[in-house]
């Protein structure tokens, strides 16, 4: 193959990559909505809605209020943890961190494919003028600590001998795999030999121009800069502790919901961890706005399939719990957007993406 033929094939390969990316971008929101609707259908198809309405009429409001308070506590400590993780990059006032986070959740509730995370990055970048890829790195570090603390909670369930241990073991294996991959990827990036870097550049990413490759390398550098919290023992310990507190509030929100429907069974507080783990594994799949569908489907598995709760009781519990996770974003995020006149231009965010794509 001569040089001109090689250059032509590389150009065609690059064009095909761009076409695939454009197709995913155009169809992504419909795919996300489709996944959410399909999973919601499978969750609700066997539900007796007359019984659901009857169960809702007997709900204990005081426990419902405690569930909502627990959910608010969850978001408060999420803000504290994120500020802690951002310290190595820049010391940021809690009000700026919390408001950007809640604005992100506001848009997470109305946009598919977890686009709220992108808005959160954009919002904090506008307030504090720090690299978007560094903020993205801090969010990935946040997810890393989420999984670590979830594993610790799953191990807590193992301390209590009941018949869900097999399911928890499977869940634990999945989470350990995710964390292991993250650790290997992180340290591989920092310890990769120069020959390996050269191989990737010349053989794997050969179709990229030098300028484009350099931009990707710089973005990766800034991204891992956001993981600098992993270089500080005190921040690691604090982040794990905050993460545990966050999950405790999450479990309490479900526990009080179970009480509000008059449910009482052995080790109910501890067993409430199982649906929470299932839900958080499920919503890792980026799909419909507000995690609609994925939240309900995997929560239903935890409540009905594993804990054995009746479908007519599990359905309203999952729906209310999902609404409670959305409510703080709508109220606090919406309040900040209105009172602080913060403008989140989604077209501008998309334009930045498009410009990067064209330059690439």
- State residue 200's pLDDT score: 55
CA dist., res. 80 & res. 142, Å (int) = 11
Q: What is the pLDDT of residues 173-201, one digit of tens each?
A: 565 555 555 554 544 444 444 454 555 55
- State residue 358's pLDDT score: 42
Q: Decide which of 71 and 29 is more confident.
A: 71
Number of other residues whose CB lies within 10 A of the CB of residue 323: 13
Q: What is the pLDDT of residues 127-155, one digit of tens each?
A: 998 888 788 888 888 888 888 787 777 77
**Domain definitions of the chain by residue range:** 3-359
What DSSP string runs through 120-138? HHHHHHHHH---HHHHHHH
Q: What is the pLDDT of residues 48-85, one digit of tens each?
A: 999 999 999 999 999 999 999 999 999 999 999 999 98
Query: Which residue's structure tokens are 């999902």?
Result: 322
Is-contact 254 104, C-beta < 8 A?
no
Give whole-number Cα distances, 62 to 4, 59, 324, in Å.
75, 9, 15
**Percentage of the chain modeled with pLDDT above 90:** 41
In 3D space, the residue among 277, 313, 301, 317 whose CA is nearest the CA of residue 154 turns out to be 277
| pLDDT at residue 264 is higher than 80 | yes
- State residue 103's pLDDT score: 94
């Amino acid at each position: 193959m001569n040089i001109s033929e090689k250059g032509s094939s590389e150009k065609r390969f690059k064009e095909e990559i761009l076409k695939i990316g454009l197709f995913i971008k155009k169809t992504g929101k419909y795919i996300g909505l489709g996944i959410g609707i399909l999973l919601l259908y499978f969750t609700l198809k066997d539900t007796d809605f007359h019984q659901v309405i009857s169960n809702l009429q007997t709900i204990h409001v005081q426990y419902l209020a405690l569930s909502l308070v627990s959910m608010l506590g969850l978001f408060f400590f999420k803000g504290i943890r994120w500020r802690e993780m951002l310290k190595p990059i820049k010391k940021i006032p809690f009000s700026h961190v919390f408001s950007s986070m809640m604005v992100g959740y506001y848009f997470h509730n109305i946009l598919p494919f977890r686009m709220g995370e992108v808005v959160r990055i954009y919002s904090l970048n506008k307030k504090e003028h720090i690299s978007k890829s560094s903020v993205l790195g801090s969010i990935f570090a946040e997810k890393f600590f989420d999984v670590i603390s979830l594993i610790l909670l799953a191990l807590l369930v193992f301390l209590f001998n009941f018949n869900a241990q097999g399911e928890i073991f499977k869940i634990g294996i999945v989470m350990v795999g995710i964390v292991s991959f993250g650790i290997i990827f992180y340290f591989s990036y920092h310890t990769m030999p120069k020959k390996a870097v050269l191989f990737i550049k010349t053989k794997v990413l050969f179709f990229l121009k030098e300028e484009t490759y350099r931009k990707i390398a710089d973005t990766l550098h800034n991204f891992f800069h956001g993981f600098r919290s992993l270089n500080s023992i005190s921040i690691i310990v604090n982040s794990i502790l905050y993460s545990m507190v966050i999950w405790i509030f999450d479990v309490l929100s479900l526990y009080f919901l179970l009480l509000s429907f008059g449910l009482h069974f052995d080790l109910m507080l501890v067993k409430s961890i199982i649906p929470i783990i299932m839900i958080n594994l499920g919503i890792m799949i980026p799909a419909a706005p507000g995690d609609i569908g994925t939240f309900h489907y995997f929560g239903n598995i935890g409540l009905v399939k594993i804990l054995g709760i009746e479908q007519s009781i599990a359905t309203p519990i999952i729906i209310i719990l999902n609404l409670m996770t959305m409510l703080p974003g709508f109220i606090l995020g919406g309040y900040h957007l209105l009172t602080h006149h913060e403008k989140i231009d989604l077209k501008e965010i998309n334009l930045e993406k498009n410009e990067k794509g064209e330059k690439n």
